[in-house]
Structure 1
Amino acid sequence: MIFKQYGGIYGYRRIRMVIDRKYGKRYNLKRIRRLMILLGLKSFIRRSNGYSTKTSYVNIEENILNREFTADKPNQKWVTDITHLKYSLSHKAYLSVIKDLYDGSIVAYKVGYYNNNELVMETIKAALEANPGATPLLHSDRGSQYTSREYRLVTTKAEITRSMSRVGKCIDNAPVESFFGHFKSESYDLKRYKSFEELVEDIDRYIQFYNKERYQEKLNSLTPLEYRDQAVA
């Protein structure tokens, strides 16, 4: 039998091709498929994974921010995202940040080995602890962490308004992408990190520099935290 001859890896399409070539005819594909079903013949290569994406929980929000990248006061609008980094030869790490659109400061960040829900939730927790009482609009992309049930529960409990970028529109979250670009061009891309700890240390150093020492023309030549301090003075 042809199915057994090829070790069970051929589905009905390839079985049809083998039969056609062997007998010099053109057999009906649906007939081959129907006969294989009747005989219980099913290839074990590239089977369906059960359509898990159809049954898993996904929470999508509107793009409430709508590219309005300015804010009237601190903690009014936050944007967040994750970028992947490397250390040693090819080990991966992930940087999750939350940026305030009022002054451009990084209000919270976390570095982890894994790009998972825990990394995002820890970042949100750090941002809320650093800014007690804050109930901002928080804009993200549609990554699995941000569309998860856990993210929805955590943000709802904190009275955070969720906003999400449209599909394929990375410019909808341009401010946080801009920060990642500055970090990589001014620090990360200029170095090679031997360990995870060395990478984290450099991220700590850069974000301190970015918040406290990096003057920005759009902030009247002040640093993000200097500009922020003016708002609460």
Structure 2
Amino acid sequence: MKKRTRYPADFKAQVALDAIREELTLAELSKKHGVHPNMISNWKRAAVKNMSAAFGKDVGLVTSVSDAEIDKLHSKIGQLVVERDFLKRGLRSLGKDRRQMRIEKHHPQLSVRRQCKLLSLTRSGIYYHLVEVRPENLNFMQIIDQQFLKTPWYGSRQMARHMKRHGHETGRHRVRRLMRLMRLVPIYQVPNTSKKHPQHKIYPYLLRRLKIEHPNHVWCTDITYIPMRRGFLSLVAIMDWATRKVLAWRLSNTMAVEFCIEALKEALAKYGPPKIFNTDQGSQFTSDSFTQVLSDANVKISMDGRGRWIDNRMIERLWLSLKYECVYIHAFETGKEALQGIGKWLKYYNTERPHSRLGILTPDEAYAMKTEPITMAA
């Protein structure tokens, strides 16, 4: 049996730092360092989570432990054993994919065998090697993305027919898989074939027949796919509904919720809380960590119906303009180029580009008119 590779801490830190810089996609980082993409995601998440501990006041201090505290710890061990067994039974109710995500192959104390036993998993499923996205699929993804911006009602069948008519030999199942990877959902109603996350609350849609006239009345957000030379990045933006101003944005080489929370916190810090925040039902936006930020700011949460692209149409229209006026023209090679190029275009969008809904005003100018209503409705 092949011996497991154990990576030193300094190597993990370097890889995590490269991932945090967001200059390379996971595929590029994997090829550069010879490490599986899932492992890089785990190291990045651990680095971000534990970064604040490096600057704590009590770092390096040695404290004495009394006999009473030792007795207390012994009693706590018994309690933790009971709680562990309780949690183990609860974890079995989660889906297989979510339990597999909790496996840490290089955990210093728990072997993979032990982790699989605790999570009721088989080891064979853990060692499956994720195949890197092929150049042909990256090309197909860009073609699908461009066509979907023109015809957002195309499902996988119609998109497959479109590609065959233009000389691209691909089947419907391949197109469907790529569209799911890109989070593209056609605007027509489809059967509800997926279950809601058992631990994530779905909030009602609050914008129906609501007249939105003032800045900071309603904000919205969404994530889109940004094609790169090798792989792709994910872009999230926070937008003011009434003025179309982009309040904050972030690029990431993973789909973890952290980059969405960073953008949200930046918008709240700069512009104050809105009355209503509208999102789709993506797992990033339904997660407790994301909705808790909104709840702490006393913001009402609104969520689109499943498959209802039209409910969040304001920010979907932003993606159309961004991709045709910036992304497809420049064809970014690296994450750093994408960060600079998209940042430059969004600044132009906010400060120089008059919006068709605002007459001759730019989003920045419309947002500055906080006391005057802007006539439009949801």
CA distance in structure 2 between the aligned counterparts of 1:211 and 1:198, rounded to whole angstroms: 20
Equivalent residues of 2:219, 2:274 under 8 A apart:
no
SS in 1 for 2:205: coil
Same amino acid, percent of matched pairs: 26
Matched, 1:49 2:191: no
SS in 2 for 1:145: helix
SS in 1 for 2:225: strand
CA distance in structure 2 between the aligned counterparts of 1:55 and 1:78, rounded to whole angstroms: 24
Q: Corresponding residue for 2:206?
A: 64
Counterpart among 236, 240, 250 of residue 110 in structure 1 = 250
**Residues 213 and 58 (structure 1), Cα distance of their counterparts in 2 relative to 1, 3 Å cut:** same
CA distance in structure 2 between the aligned counterparts of 1:51 and 1:182, rounded to whole angstroms: 35
Q: Corresponding residue for 1:149?
A: 288
CA distance in structure 1 between the aligned counterparts of 2:208 and 2:330, rounded to whole angstroms: 36
**How much has 1:56 moved relative to structure 2?**
4.6
Give the letter aligned to residue 79 of structure 1.
C
Q: Corresponding residue for 2:361?
A: 222
TM-score (norm 1): 0.72
Give the letter aligned to residue 291 of structure 2.
R
Q: Corresponding residue for 2:276?
A: 137
**Residues 192 and 66 (structure 1), Cα distance of their counterparts in 2 relative to 1, 3 Å cut:** same
The Cα RMSD (Å) is 2.2
Q: Corresponding residue for 2:215?
A: 74
CA distance in structure 1 between the aligned counterparts of 2:196 and 2:214, rounded to whole angstroms: 40
CA distance in structure 2 between the aligned counterparts of 1:227 and 1:191, rounded to whole angstroms: 29
Larger RCO, structures 1/2 (Cα 8 Å, 6+ apart):
1
Equivalent residues in 2 for 1:146-225, closer than 5 Å:
146-225=285-364
**How much has 1:220 moved relative to structure 2?**
2.5
Structure with the larger helix share: 2
Equivalent residues of 2:238, 2:248 under 8 A apart:
yes
CA distance in structure 2 between the aligned counterparts of 1:206 and 1:175, rounded to whole angstroms: 17
Q: Deviations over 1:102-150 (max 9, x none)?
A: 2110011111111111011111101101113x23311000000111111
> Gapped runs of 5+ residues in structure 1?
1-47
Q: Deviations over 1:49-81 (max 9, x none)?
A: 28867885111010112375x522211100100
Higher alpha-carbon Rg: 1
Q: How many aligned positions are there? A: 183
Q: Corresponding residue for 1:3?
A: none
**Residues 54 and 67 (structure 1), Cα distance of their counterparts in 2 relative to 1, 3 Å cut:** closer
**Residues 222 and 150 (structure 1), Cα distance of their counterparts in 2 relative to 1, 3 Å cut:** same
Structure with the larger strand share: 1
Counterpart among 125, 135, 138 of residue 265 in structure 2 = 125
**How much has 1:90 moved relative to structure 2?**
2.3
**How much has 1:217 moved relative to structure 2?**
3.5
CA distance in structure 2 between the aligned counterparts of 1:190 and 1:211, rounded to whole angstroms: 19
TM-score (norm 2): 0.46
